[in-house]
Amino acid sequence: MVNRDAQLMARVAEGDVEAFGGLVRRHQDTAWRIAHRFLGDSAEAEDMVQEAFLRIWAAAPRYRPTAAFTSYLYRVLVRLCIDNTRKKRPTPVENIVVADTASPGPAATLIRQEREVLIRQTMNALPARQRMVVILKYYEGLSYDEMALALATTAKAVERLLGRARKTLKSQLSDDYGLKKI
């Protein structure tokens, strides 16, 4: 996939709109998931993804495939999302999926909903970069190196950000919902 993306970006640099469309189709869903989990708003996530791809289009002639295209995309998207939260108050992260291990029923549904609200509130309280590493690690499965590229930092710095985020989440989440095992 990396080679295919590099080939597409080379064609995009020459002004090939179809190649650009191919890149967008390949990566828009993942980009939207990251933006949506971070921003908590579908329309805003769409705007950030669109802006990220527009910036990639504009910068295509300068693109050098020194890393996977996805790393480049994540870096552009992460910057946009973090910059967006700095311009205004963070919007709550919505639709965080928490595994429901209880059997279905009104009590289990209420507990699950309360757990999701608690997690959402705790995630929203994290600083932007910490919230982003949690999303990239636990929801997108990126490695430390991939997260470092996306955040324009080192893997060690990502490790520290994630450690601080875990510590905050552990201290804030109530044991009543079995969430201390993060």
Domain enclosing residue 137, as ranges: 106-177
Mark whether 13 and 48 lie in a shared domain: yes
How many angstroms separate the CA atoms of 52 and 12, rounded? 15
Q: Which two tokens stand for residue 156?
A: 């060690």
Per residue in 52-65, pLDDT tens? 999 999 999 998 88
How many angstroms separate the CA atoms of 139 and 99, rounded? 12
Give residues with Cβ within 8 angstroms of 125, minimum separation 6: 168, 172
Q: Is residue 101, in this structure, part of any structural domain at all?
A: no
Mark whether 72 and 116 lie in a shared domain: no
How many angstroms separate the CA atoms of 176 and 58, rounded? 50
Domain end point (choices 24, 56, 87):
87
Q: Is residue 95, in this structure, part of any structural domain at all?
A: no
Q: Is residue 98, in this structure, part of any structural domain at all?
A: no
pLDDT at 175: 54
Q: Is residue 94, in this structure, part of any structural domain at all?
A: no
| Residue 27 in this model has a pLDDT that exceeds 90 | yes
Mark whether 44 and 75 lie in a shared domain: yes
Domain end point (choices 59, 87, 115):
87
Domains identified in the chain, total number: 2
Decide: 160 and 153 in contact? Cβ < 8 Å.
no
Q: Is residue 92, in this structure, part of any structural domain at all?
A: no
Mark whether 53 and 15 lie in a shared domain: yes
Give SS3 for 73. Answer: helix
| Residue 122 in this model has a pLDDT that exceeds 90 | no
Total-model pTM: 0.74
Mark whether 8 and 62 lie in a shared domain: yes
Worst-scoring range by mean pLDDT, 16-25, 49-58, 103-112?
103-112
117 — pLDDT class (breaks 50, 70, 90): confident
Mark whether 70 and 135 lie in a shared domain: no
Q: Which two tokens stand for residue 20?
A: 């650009």
pLDDT at 176: 46
In sign, the C-alpha dihedral spanning 116, 119, 125, 127 is negative
Decide: 61 and 92 in contact? Cβ < 8 Å.
no
DSSP string, 47-66: HHHHHHHHHHHHHGGG---S
What CATH number is given to the structural domain containing 162?
A: 1.10.10.10
Helix axes 155-172, 106-125, angle to 10 degrees: 130
Average pLDDT over residues 150-169: 93
Q: Is residue 100, in this structure, part of any structural domain at all?
A: no
Q: Is residue 34, in this structure, part of any structural domain at all?
A: yes
